[in-house]
Chains A and B, each alone.
Chain A
Amino acid sequence: MIPASFEYRRPSTVDEAVQALVGGDAKVLAGGQSLLPLLRLRLAFPDLLVDVGRVESMRGVRDDGEHLVIGAVTTHHGVVTDPLIAQHCPLLAQATSTVADPAVRHRGTFGGALSHADPAGDLPAVALALDAEFEIAGPTGRRTVAASEFFVDYLQTAVGAGEVLVSVRVPKLGAGWASHYEKFHRVAQAWAIVGVAAIVRRDGDSIAEARIGLTNMGSTPLRASATESALAGAALHDGGVTAATDRASEGTDPPSDLGGAADYRRHLVKVLTRRAVLAAAGS
């Protein structure tokens, strides 16, 4: 399939990228793994593509004290194999390793996946559970947006027209915290029907604190707030966790599609949240 024709620019700095985006119907191109199919199916036809793939300052992972800073054009493969991420935020590596297949992971980028904000994508829910912060550059300078403000609606984020997502800050998970991403899909390279990112702090035989992000349970990634509150102090065994995770579908509005109807997803999210929490808690 052949996209409608477009102009192409490849800046090498963030400033050049922002300048290139001024005016016209421009789109940022990163790994192209979501954008190119849309172009080829002629579901999108921008006049200009600004390829940020060679903006070196937007690539790689940096240690910033309490946080890691992940450049937006770091590929999925880069995230999966990064030693800092492995040490301080293994959840990100684990979730990213479930994205698509090796070919897609070598091209697709962390920032691209978050900017695309497909609620069926694995990384938005993970970023939300991590309380990540997003650094965005635009014509008027740079700003930082919290994850809770970043995902606005279906395929819509706080990144406005003419802006570029530069990097994402994620907190290092300290001692006592553990995590797990539970993805439910039919074949290895398919999107999640439902996914659950669980980050928990364990206190003996109970959960002290938990943060739960949900994939594909609404038009944006969601936090399972009711479950999070109920998990605080919940016993790992004797049904404590189950009682809390049975509330995982509260406040969700899952889609009905070929992957499953909404009622099935509401059921699934409870089972998967229980599994994710127990796996994270190591039991």
Chain B
Amino acid sequence: MTTTETHVIGQPRKRKEDARLITGQARWTDNITLPGMLHFALVRSPMAHAKISSVDVSAALQRPGVLAAFSGADLAADLGSLPCAWPVTPDMVHPDHHPLATDEVRYVGDAVAVVVARDRYAVADAIEAVEVDYEPLPAVVNMEEALKDEVLVHSQAGTNKCFVWPFDGGDYDAVKATADIVFKRRYVQQRLIPTAMEPRAVVVEPLAAAEEFTVYSTTQIPHILRVMLALTVGIPEQKLRVIAPDVGGGFGSKLNVYAEEVIALVLAKRLGRPVKWTESRSEGYQATIHGRDQIQDIEIAATKDGKLLGLSVDLKADMGAYLQLVTPGVPVLGAFMYNAIYKMDAYRFRCTGVFTTKTPTDAYRGAGRPEATYAIERAMSDLAHEIGKDPMQLRRENWITHEEFPFTTIAGLTYDSGDYEAATARSMELFGYDDLRREQAERRDRNDPVQLGIGISTFTEMCGLAPSRVLGSLSYGAGGWEAASIRMLPTGKVEVVTGTAPHGQGHVTSWSQIAADALGVPFEDVEVMHSDTRVAPMGMDTYGSRSLVVGGVAVHLAAQKVIEKAKKVAAHLLEAAESDIEFAAGTFSVKGSPDAKKTIQEISLATFAAHNFPDGVEPSLNSDAVLDPENFSFPHGTHLCAALVDTETGHTKIRSYVAVDDVGNVINPMIVEGQVHGGLAQGIAQALYEEAVYDDDGNLVTGTLVDYLVPAASDLPEFTTDRTVTPATSNPLGVKGVGEAGTIASTPAVVNAVVDALRPFGIDDIRMPCTPERVWRAIQDRSSGGDRSAEGTVAYGGTQTATTAGRDTEAGGGAQ
């Protein structure tokens, strides 16, 4: 890091983005209104699996305000098939994925027809007039059922098995043969719905006789979307401009190429007018990707006192009905994280991707790593219980010690830095571990109806999705580099152009801090531009906690290039040798004669005028950097949760939660804190609240926010957060990612706490989310709580469900 006296880095600067966002001046995609704009809506399948016998749009065309209506067959040639950029194995089954289904529907919400009208009211009425005849086929919603291949999601594929992806480190069978203990567990990752605050929307504006198009989309990936749309729709890439205006959260759900984006482009091309589509929340719950949905069979080979020898993971991952952009890659990415912070001699991983008649899955905050971390952190606590050891002690005896870094793991990754001892010591101190253990013993002794449990998660993760070579070796379709440009304006102000695509993370603020420090200019003098392929032509966008470690560091590197160029100019103006020029805090001075100096603003103006310029030097300080890092970054931390479980009702309340994270050097502690809080909320949500429940017919029973329980601030505990700082050695800023850490760490901490509270009842697992009913049932029959009742929804008087069947409600019939 350059030393300057400015040091905005490390300060809790208020976010530059927020004044606009909280005063209603944001520009969401749905706010965009263009002259002559049309609105479209999709007719979606109410059935999980059916043959389409006919689609008749003629009545819809008669409705007022309707300009066009098409079936999937009508548009098939234009729409093509949606891309999957991560063919994890050469023989992966990769079925066609038509944006509008043509012959068969494969999940509730699969689109079958589109209607275009003058306004969104007209189109909402008109889609009801489209008549679709379906010939029902059986649904298959459960992966183990699907693997029997009795009901085929894609009959032409002949199997529901999408791929089997193997990975081995060492010889697991040999190690297992020498083990005293072979410990097995099955953990289930329920299906989750990302629920970004802003629903998805897309607007496409055709220009120049529909030869050129501007696509506005609620996307995390404007750059990747542009490439993919060009390839899918066949519009030359240079004729496409993609803009992600203000985007209100994504969590992976906007890291995709969606049917509606392709349909919008094709309609704008056909009709020569701007078109818009915005999803409703319940529509989005069916037609925006879901996350997780995996079954994890874990086997640990260990010595009798708990030294890990080997780990085997047999993973089943639900793809849903089709492959979206990185669907198969999500569980595969997890492969490198099951061994986590622990040393062992052998590791075996097998992942089977499975098709079911449900909404496709894809990346959801953490993507592969939360699942892996959950399994290993649950297993470590369960193993400790099995051999009668304190769960923290077992971890300590197996983790990589701080002297051992850099450390190459059994999964082949090299962890550059870390100090698990330090983060653990700090969190134990903040938590009051020993006192809580004492209270737990007392509650157990007196058979208190409210039991106390303590949960541990000593997590790490790989983030900063980057090294292009590594992504290539995993058959991912794109690279992992990131681009940044710095433009020095004549007045000494600075424009930073980044290839990242922030949608809530505060890049504008953090990148300003990085540029301000590197260039020695005021924080306020820096403007950051992003998310428009015309403004920021190069980029790999935002996901996988990659933006700071790749994109933020690229800003720093571009600034170094600016300084190098400016040094030449300064040397010329100060009539000194370039090697004698020193740069600090925005000022270039001559070694030994401190009065001879020029500020970076003066150099900028001199460069603009270029009247007095060194020979052979271009009159520009502007610089670009494209960074392709050598390694991932590996944040880690120790999270501790104390949960009170009411054994009479099954209700869990988190009493205290301590998160000590090590994310390396910190650019803006307030933003980091915000990321940790939000991450914890989402991880706790998986542990206790959220679950996408399907019934046997493939209906999404948790189809609205009434039934899909997203916790609010009032449902979450006060978080105690702190940090240890072990800088990353793989980048010049020493930073690691923080976007997913809280989510990855917290789920196992919470469930470990619930299970720990219930150990006296002989319980060693509760299915997620640990609902009161599941906990109660587990206590009744020493189970893990079982499936939830998918018979009825809570929403709006339980309409359309068995609970109300036959009852006379005002619900006059379905809209779908």
On A, residues with C-beta under 8 Å from B are 1-2, 4-5, 27, 34, 37-38, 40-45, 101, 118, 120, 153-156, 184, 186-191, 193, 219, 255-261, 264, 267-268, 271-272
Contact = CB atoms under 8 A, between A and B. Distances in A.
B804 A154 contact: yes
B15 interface: no
Contacts, number: 129
Given A4-B125, A187-B709, A258 B794 contact: yes
A256 B789 contact: yes
B649 A184 contact: yes
B706 interface: yes
Contacts of B813: 43
Interface residues of B, number: 56
B20 interface: no
Contacts of A27: 810
B111 interface: no
Given A188-B712, A190-B709, A256 B791 contact: yes
Interface in B766-816: 771-773, 776-777, 788-804, 807-815
B125 A5 contact: yes
A271 B649 contact: yes
A264 B702 contact: no
B53 interface: no
Most buried by B among A2, A41, A45, A184: A41
Contacts of A188: 712, 714-715
Contacts of B280: 1, 40
B168 interface: no
Given A153-B807, A272-B649, 8 more contacts: A5-B121, A37-B796, A42-B128, A43-B813, A187-B714, A189-B714, A256-B802, A260-B789
A191 B807 CA distance: 20
A257 B793 contact: yes
Nearest to B123: A2
B620 to A, nearest CB: 52
Nearest to A4: B125
Contacts of B128: 42
B134 interface: no
A41 B282 contact: yes
B701 interface: yes
B681 to A, nearest CB: 12
Most buried by A among B689, B701, B811: B811
A260 B792 contact: no
A268 to B, nearest CB: 6
Given A43-B799, A260-B772, A120 B810 contact: no
Given A43-B799, A257-B789, A153 B808 contact: yes
Contact of A184 (B125, B651, B693): B651
B128 to A, nearest CB: 8
Interface residue SS majority, chain A: loop
A186 B772 contact: yes
Contacts of A42: 128, 815
14 contacts: A43-B796, A43-B811, A43-B815, A153-B807, A184-B649, A188-B714, A189-B714, A191-B794, A219-B807, A256-B802, A258-B790, A259-B773, A261-B791, A264-B776
A257 B793 CA distance: 6
B120 interface: yes
**Which A-B residue pairs are the 5 nearest by beta carbons?**
A42-B815, A257-B792, A2-B124, A1-B280, A43-B811
A214 B3 CA distance: 68
Nearest to A2: B124
B776 A41 contact: no
Contacts of B237: none
Nearest to A265: B773
B776 A186 contact: no
Contacts of A268: 649, 776
B120 A120 contact: no
Contacts of B649: 184, 268, 271-272
A120 B294 CA distance: 33
Contacts of A271: 648-649
B707 interface: yes
Nearest to B800: A43
Contacts of A40: 280
B773 A260 contact: yes
B815 A41 contact: yes
B678 interface: no
B711 interface: yes
A38 B789 contact: no
A34 B794 contact: no
A189 B120 CA distance: 31
B120 A154 contact: no
